[in-house]
Copies of this chain bind each other. A is one copy, B any other.
Amino acid sequence: MLDLAILGLLEEQELHGYEIRRQLRDSLGLLANVSFGSLYPALARLEAAGDVEAVDGADEVAPTAPPTGSLSGERAVLRARRHSRPRGRRSRKAYRITGQGRRTFARLLAGDGADDARSFGLRLAFARHLPPPARLALLERRRAQLVERLAEVDGARSEATLDVYARSVVEHTAEGVARDIHWLERLIEAERKPDGQRAAGRAASRRESGGRVAGRPAMAGKGNERN
């Protein structure tokens, strides 16, 4: 799972370990606080496997202005500009994803099955790299799982003997699962309607707060999604 996250971030740009961790924490919020004790070994393993390669070259931030709707390209550029010279560097091994790594990423992303909440969230966060049918399959697989789980939890819900506290936990859990299913259903619906200009964008942030769905950063209009 860590591999998936690492490759996903490297798919956007070259990064070194420390920065990967920061992005996992700040940008995705998923996998928050993954520790260096697992991150660095993972990078070493991926390098040994040929999925990534170290680039010792001086600066790893690409000079390209707005290359693609990259997950955090702009941020990195901004940060690099704030301190005109990058600070606090030691050896700083930056990594770049290889062709093989891209295939590994695609395989991990498609997934052999088995998504718990964490890895599903991660996969969905990178769903842009998935061909639309696989995207839909991912969502529906997850929904099916949650529906099943809801049935289980609803069983517990009707237990007569739970005290107030246990009952509250069970109820809360059940509602959470139901809510997740709802969410997935909205996403599935959005995914199914022919992606006109911004079909998917609406689904993604139904948070009222005015329509600041704003641009469709990465979901750019047709072509480049297909890969």
Chain A residues packing against B (C-beta within 8 Å): 25-32, 69-75, 116-118, 121, 124-128, 145, 149, 152-153, 155-177, 179-180, 183, 187, 198, 200-207, 209, 213, 216-221, 223-227
Say which residue of B72, B121, B161 sits within 8 Å of A74 (CB atoms): B161
Q: Are B218 and A179 in contact (CB under 8 A)?
A: yes
Q: A30-B173, A117-B225 are in contact. Are A162 and B71 (CB under 8 A)?
A: yes
Q: A73-B161, A176-B176, A203-B163 are in contact. Are A116 and B152 (CB under 8 A)?
A: no
- In the bound complex, CA of A148 to CA of B31 (Å): 16
Closest chain-B Cβ to A183's Cβ sits at a distance in Å of 6
Q: Which residues of B contact A149 (CB under 8 A)?
A: 32, 227
Q: Which residues of B contact A223 (CB under 8 A)?
A: 29-30, 117, 121
- In the bound complex, CA of A159 to CA of B69 (Å): 13
Q: Which of A31, A169, A202, A209 gathers most chain B CB within 10 Å?
A: A169
Q: Are A204 and B165 in contact (CB under 8 A)?
A: yes
- Name 25 A/B residue pairs within 8 A (Cβ), A-sorted: A26-B159, A27-B161, A27-B166, A29-B155, A30-B169, A32-B149, A72-B159, A74-B160, A117-B223, A121-B173, A128-B163, A145-B227, A157-B209, A160-B217, A163-B202, A163-B203, A164-B216, A167-B204, A168-B183, A168-B187, A172-B220, A175-B217, A176-B218, A176-B225, A179-B218
Q: A121-B224, A171-B204, A224-B117 are in contact. Are A163 and B219 (CB under 8 A)?
A: yes
Q: Are A163 and B218 in contact (CB under 8 A)?
A: yes
- In the bound complex, CA of A71 to CA of B171 (Å): 16
Task: Name the CB-closest residue of B to A224.
Answer: B118
Q: Which residues of B contact A169 (CB under 8 A)?
A: 28-30, 121, 124-125, 220
Protomer copies: 2
Q: Are A165 and B213 in contact (CB under 8 A)?
A: no
Say which residue of B145, B156, B164, B201 sits within 8 Å of A26 (CB atoms): B156
- In the bound complex, CA of A8 to CA of B70 (Å): 49
- In the bound complex, CA of A72 to CA of B162 (Å): 7
Q: Which residues of B contact A171 (CB under 8 A)?
A: 204-205, 207, 213
